Chains A and B, each alone.
Chain A
Amino acid sequence: MFYLSKKQLMEEELPAGHRSPDWPTRLAQLAEQARNPSLKAFYQAGVVAAGTPISEVPLVAMDFETTGIDASRDEIVSIGLVCMTLDRIRMSESRHWILKPRADLRDESVVIHGITHSEVESAPDLTRIREQLLETLAGRVVVVHHKGIERRFLDAALKRRIGEGIEFPCIDTMELEARLHRRKPGGLLDKLFGQKPRVSIRLPESRERYHLPHYPAHNALTDALSCAELLQAQVAHRFSPDTPVSTLWS
């Protein structure tokens, strides 16, 4: 998780209303167009129907540490994945990779994620783990906090390596928080969560509101777990296990 400053988050464009794409159809189209075999296999695995209750959807929480915030220039240095369902987050089905970025590992990002030059020197390139990564994602809806990072970075990284980008359905826990706090002030939920006009929707502050424990940030695996737990909490408090996945994904 690359934490954006408050200011960056305010400026981030959030959709005014929730658009729910028709992901099964879109993935089928992409499966037709894809040339790379592992990418094609990923699309062919498809995704559950839009009306499927969230409790029945196979999910995978994902987080990246990156060399910076510009997807066109920066690269991924680590990936954390944790497979989950609404009921249970399965550490036995988790992955953590340190990667060798094609961009420079800049000092300011090292300060954040703590992954050093010497560690990435001996790490593999994303190409070496691409197949494993796509296999883990296949058939699952990805859970992230701030999809802007994971979506753009994976897309750009694949384009650079295989000449094709990637699209995938995401449940963005930050966007779920934003929906709540963009309601007009004075509403019941504002009262519940305090009347401050602007509430931070960053991961640690969002977790706190659901009484989730404090985790040290900037380890991709811990952040993925962190985000997985946040989704469980959000659904427990604000949705129900029967909520159709289309209400949540984008």
Chain B
Amino acid sequence: MQAEHLEIIDFLRRYPPFNELPEEALARVAANIDVSYFKAGTQILEFDQEVDAWYVIRSGAVEVYRRNGDLYNRLSEGGYFGEFGLLRENRVRFPIVALEDTLAYLIPAPIFKELFEQYENFADFVEVEDRSRLRQTVARREDANELLTSSIEVLIGRAPVTIETGSTVREAAMRMSNEGVSSLLIVHPPGSSQDSESCMAGMITDRDLRNRVVAKGLSYDTPVTEIMTAELIHAEHNQLVFEAMLAMLQHNVHHLPILKHGTPVGVIALSDIIRYESQNSLFVVSRIFRANSVEELSTLEGEVRSCFSRMVHEDANSKMIGRAMAVIGRSFKQRLLELAEEKFGPPPVPYCFLALGSMARQEQLIVTDQDHAMVLDNSYDPMKHDAYFLQLAQFVSDGLAACGYTYCKGEIMATTPKWRQPLRVWERYFDEWIDDPTPQTLLNSFIFFDLDGVWGKTEWADHLSRYIAHKAQRNARFLACMARNALLRTPPLGFFKEFVMEPSGQQTQSIDMKRRGTAPLADLIRVHALAVGSVARNSFDRLEDVIAADILPQGRGQDLRDALEFISMVRIRHQALDLDAGQEPDNKIEPENLSDFERKNLKDAFQILSSAQKFLKYRYQASRIG
């Protein structure tokens, strides 16, 4: 007679991956289980020992070790081990010791393999390759918001309709009617020599014909080049739909040419994409530019927060959220500077206002302080001009504080005289920091090397970025120092019950996801980016340059991308949860608030970070470079 093993089935049903299995599979598992008891301290599995079953912890806890004796993990009730060995020649890869008195359910190898082959979800969950589990998780999320994370290419319906620069307004209008389009690209005739790489000269739209030709009473024989918009805002074919939207809103244009290697491949209209933006995260940006005082700006803090929450609920990815928050932060600075210039008059010499750190990397979240600086024209004379720029800096800094961006505790703000200097002084700073690094200047490099021009002579910011990239790439000693500093913050090992577990075996109550996760990842990606001369600022973009330069072992770049995405999203989601609960969001997470799913994937992500740090250390050893 078939015995019914109710107690075992009830237990299994409570834990993933068994909760995904149908009843008959659970019954089959329960009817074939072996049970073993292990006193605390017992070696349950030894390295290279033959393994004939998959172990599920019914009660108690075990420690999982690496071959070299390092602690790898702790598992408690519902945890499992042995799958690694079962799927690899039935030899134990990770030795196991009972941490507490432990009762284990042993699922015989043939039954385990049957489940693994028959049930895809089950196999995905227990998948031996940690990194591929994280890959699947991130990929699944990518599928879930395909439209928002797609590149613009998917929206291009047809090749752009163009006309050559020699044409008249009438010819242009006829072309538009015949083709049934509301915009027309004006291109240089083939073979004509141009300074710019692009063959695109400008664009006209229906609205331009109305406003610039008909309303002004111009002749229809007017050359089209006279009424077109030159200096077009455009997007690259591989940018995200979301980024294109932001660009259009920020510059108040309704048509956006898309370029691929300098050649227009299409034009998208705001109406093409606006339907994908169900909520008004961009509305905040336009509100910022319409605000007429610091008081008005400061009332928008709540909107920024709800915009953040909405994006999280709409399953936006971390790149979109980081970018949207950075664009909002940037818009605040721009509007404050506009207001400041209205108040104090035009600047006596040109300047560029820089955003630094996470905002420059477009990885800003809602819990953030203000990091900024000012680059002044080389003709700047402190005696004559500094009073003006100090006023300006003070106005922006106080304004930002009023809008929820707290003052930087490290004084990394344009109000600090040292960070309000002419371009040549900035170049000298960077020379010193790179040629002769000290502990303090290394910390500066971490912050200032992520710089973005927000206002004024933004080309100076690009110049400084290239200056840094060019100089740092050639300085092995500097890179070694940066690498060493990037290893100061390490990830934990994982989670055990309601604790965060450290590699030393110590357990703590909560984890700072920024300090232990996203920050060390951004730090190590920055070192690689400097080494390959990348001028990208966003960590994901930097990773792409690093991957293209082929300095990472095969597949590790993708792993890092997945790890950064997952850790960032956990951090973001928990901040959104705090906001929803009416609490002040922070970067701390208590393990009891993490789902099983988050715990598993976070552990994998931490593992990836930890191995990436080992690789960093190896690659940039001072002695090795010598």
A residues lining the B interface (CB < 8 Å)? 80, 87-92, 94-97, 210-213, 215-216, 219, 221-222, 225, 228-229, 232-233, 236-237
CA distance A91 to B6 in the complex (A): 12
Question: Given A91-B30, A97-B1 in contact, is the A229-B35 Cβ separation under 8 Å?
Answer: yes
List 5 additional A-B contacts (Cβ < 8 Å) besides A90-B34, A232-B37.
A91-B3, A91-B8, A95-B3, A97-B1, A236-B38
Q: Are B36 and A222 in contact (CB under 8 A)?
A: no
Write the chain A residue with the least CB distance to B101.
Answer: A211
CA distance A232 to B33 in the complex (A): 16
CA distance A94 to B32 in the complex (A): 9
Q: Are B42 and A236 in contact (CB under 8 A)?
A: yes
CA distance A96 to B31 in the complex (A): 12
Q: Are B8 and A213 in contact (CB under 8 A)?
A: no
B residues lining the A interface (CB < 8 Å)? 1, 3-8, 30-39, 42, 58-60, 100-101, 103, 106, 108
List the 5 closest pairs (A to B, CB-CB), nearest first: A232-B37, A211-B101, A89-B35, A213-B59, A96-B3
Q: Are A87 and B36 in contact (CB under 8 A)?
A: yes
Could you list 24 examples of A-B contacts with CB < 8 Å?
A88-B34, A88-B106, A91-B30, A91-B31, A92-B31, A92-B32, A92-B108, A94-B5, A95-B3, A96-B4, A210-B37, A211-B59, A211-B60, A212-B101, A213-B58, A213-B59, A213-B103, A221-B4, A221-B5, A225-B7, A228-B35, A232-B36, A233-B37, A236-B39
Main secondary structure of the interface of A (DSSP, over half): mixed
Q: Which residue of the partner chain, among B6, B30, B32, B103, contacts A229 with CB atoms under 8 Å?
A: B103
Q: Are B101 and A233 in contact (CB under 8 A)?
A: yes
Q: Are B35 and A91 in contact (CB under 8 A)?
A: yes
CA distance A92 to B105 in the complex (A): 12
Most buried by A among B6, B31, B32, B35: B35
Residues in A neighbouring B59, C-beta threshold 8 A: 211-213
Residues in B neighbouring A211, C-beta threshold 8 A: 59-60, 100-101
Q: Are B37 and A212 in contact (CB under 8 A)?
A: yes
CA distance A216 to B4 in the complex (A): 14
Q: Are B6 and A95 in contact (CB under 8 A)?
A: no
Question: Given A96-B3, A221-B5, A225-B7 in contact, is the A91-B60 Cβ separation under 8 Å?
Answer: no
Write the chain A residue with the least CB distance to B98.
Answer: A236
Q: Are A222 and B3 in contact (CB under 8 A)?
A: no
| Closest beta carbon of chain A to B223's beta carbon, Å | 86
Q: Are A222 and B38 in contact (CB under 8 A)?
A: no
Q: Which residue of the partner chain, among B4, B31, B42, B103, contacts A212 with CB atoms under 8 Å?
A: B103
Residues in B neighbouring A232, C-beta threshold 8 A: 35-37
CA distance A95 to B103 in the complex (A): 21
Q: Are B31 and A236 in contact (CB under 8 A)?
A: no
Q: Which residue of the partner chain, among A90, A222, A228, contacts B7 with CB atoms under 8 Å?
A: A222
| Closest beta carbon of chain B to A127's beta carbon, Å | 16
Q: Are A237 and B39 in contact (CB under 8 A)?
A: yes
CA distance A228 to B58 in the complex (A): 15
Q: Are A210 and B101 in contact (CB under 8 A)?
A: yes
Residues in A neighbouring B100, C-beta threshold 8 A: 211
CA distance A181 to B389 in the complex (A): 85
Residues in B neighbouring A228, C-beta threshold 8 A: 35
Q: Are A96 and B1 in contact (CB under 8 A)?
A: yes
CA distance A219 to B60 in the complex (A): 24
CA distance A219 to B36 in the complex (A): 20
Write the chain A residue with the least CB distance to B108.
Answer: A92
CA distance A38 to B144 in the complex (A): 66
Residues in B neighbouring A212, C-beta threshold 8 A: 37, 59, 101, 103
Residues in A neighbouring B106, C-beta threshold 8 A: 88
Write the chain A residue with the least CB distance to B35.
Answer: A89
Write the chain A residue with the least CB distance to B77.
Answer: A213
Q: Are A91 and B32 in contact (CB under 8 A)?
A: yes
CA distance A96 to B8 in the complex (A): 15
CA distance A237 to B5 in the complex (A): 27
Question: Given A225-B35, A232-B36, A232-B37 in contact, is the A94-B103 Cβ separation under 8 Å?
Answer: no
Residues in B neighbouring A91, C-beta threshold 8 A: 3, 5, 8, 30-35
Residues in B neighbouring A215, C-beta threshold 8 A: 7
Residues in B neighbouring A210, C-beta threshold 8 A: 37, 101
CA distance A233 to B35 in the complex (A): 12
Q: Are A88 and B35 in contact (CB under 8 A)?
A: yes
Write the chain B residue with the least CB distance to A219.
Answer: B6
